[in-house]
């Protein structure tokens, strides 16, 4: 019996020494101040107590807030819109120049492929040679006929009475031989004309070939210059895009109230400003 009461008393003392779980203290996570760009942006319920937004401006008007302003998420804090608009105008002009150079490059390519001279034709000279050759053949036939006529006259009786006729026909033969010489000279002349025309054509083709090669060299040099300018403008547009991105409007990541504006300093044309914002505690709503 005594042993039973002893065990019961020990159990009672152990139970009375334990505290209820509901009396344990709750650990809280303190809120802190973060600087945008330097710290990781918090999400969910881990909102900071305040934030510092560091911006670069070039004019006082670029800063769009003042102490005491209430901010909503997405409100513009700073915006260098005049500089950005100027860069956008430069980019537009550069794009127009780039398009003009690319069109000029296409024209230069077409010039390289454009034919210079038509096909050669000597049909007129060849026709004149054929006509002159026919005249020579006709003159030769006439001479042959005249010689046969004179031979026939010589075979007739009473040759003494026909001497005058023979003299006349002989004179006629001499005239025909003169016509043959003239026809042969004309044939030689037409052939010479054809040779001269071919020589002139060959000279012109060689000259034009040299001119085309010189033109190709000139156009090639111009294309190199144009390609260099295109590359430079493309680099310029890339740099402008990068600068335009850096001049994007800075917006509030959290809702809150502007508590302080600190002017840290100036580097060249850029002024560094730090805006301190007390962040609204969404858990208190």
Rounded to whole angstroms, the Cα distance separating 45 from 285 reads: 12
Q: Give first-to-last CA distance, the chain, whole Å.
A: 63
Would you state the structure tokens that stand for residue 9, as one six-digit string? 């008393």
Rounded to whole angstroms, the Cα distance separating 147 from 168 reads: 12
Containing 253, the helix (H) or strand (E) segment is none
Rounded to whole angstroms, the Cα distance separating 192 from 226 reads: 49
Please say whether the beta carbons of 261 and 273 come within 8 A.
Answer: yes
Beta pairing, strands 50-57 & 33-35: parallel
pTM: 0.51
Domain map (residue ranges) of the chain = 104-228
What are the start-end ranges of the H helices in the chain? Answer: 2-17, 81-113, 123-155, 163-246
Q: How confident is the model at residue 163 (pLDDT cuts 50, 70, 90)?
A: confident
Question: What pLDDT, in 10s, does the model give residues 208-266?
Answer: 778 878 877 888 888 889 999 999 999 999 999 999 998 899 999 999 999 999 998 98
Residue where the block lists tokens 């680099």: 235
> Helix, strand or coil for residue 277?
strand
How far, CA to CA in Å, does 98 sit from each of 37, 94, 101, 102, 229?
36, 6, 5, 6, 8
What local confidence, expressed as pLDDT, does residue 215 receive? 79
């Amino acid at each position: 019996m005594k042993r039973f009461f002893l065990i019961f008393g020990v159990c009672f003392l152990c139970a009375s020494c334990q505290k209820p779980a509901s009396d344990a203290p709750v650990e809280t996570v303190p809120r802190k101040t973060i600087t945008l760009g330097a710290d990781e942006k918090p999400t969910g319920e881990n909102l900071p107590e305040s934030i510092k937004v560091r911006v670069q401006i070039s004019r006082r008007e670029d800063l769009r807030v003042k102490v005491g302003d209430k901010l909503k998420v997405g409100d513009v804090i700073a915006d260098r819109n005049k500089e950005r608009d100027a860069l956008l105008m430069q980019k537009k002009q550069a794009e127009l120049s780039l398009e003009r150079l690319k069109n000029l490059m296409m024209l230069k390519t077409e010039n390289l492929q454009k034919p210079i001279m038509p096909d050669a034709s000597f049909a007129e000279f060849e026709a004149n040679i054929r006509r002159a050759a026919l005249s020579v053949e006709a003159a030769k036939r006439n001479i042959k006929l005249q010689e046969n006529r004179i031979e026939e006259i010589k075979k007739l009786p009473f040759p003494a009475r026909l001497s005058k006729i023979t003299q006349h026909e002989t004179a006629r033969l001499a005239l025909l031989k003169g016509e043959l010489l003239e026809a042969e000279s004309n044939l030689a002349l037409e052939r010479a004309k054809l040779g001269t025309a071919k020589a002139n054509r060959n000279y012109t083709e060689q000259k034009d070939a040299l001119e085309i090669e010189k033109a190709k060299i000139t156009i090639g040099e111009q294309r190199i210059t144009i390609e260099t300018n295109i590359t430079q403008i493309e680099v310029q547009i890339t740099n402008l895009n990068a600068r335009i991105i850096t001049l994007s409007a800075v917006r509030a990541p959290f809702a809150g109230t502007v508590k302080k504006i600190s002017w840290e300093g100036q580097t060249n044309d850029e002024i560094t400003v730090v805006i301190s914002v007390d962040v609204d505690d969404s858990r208190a709503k």
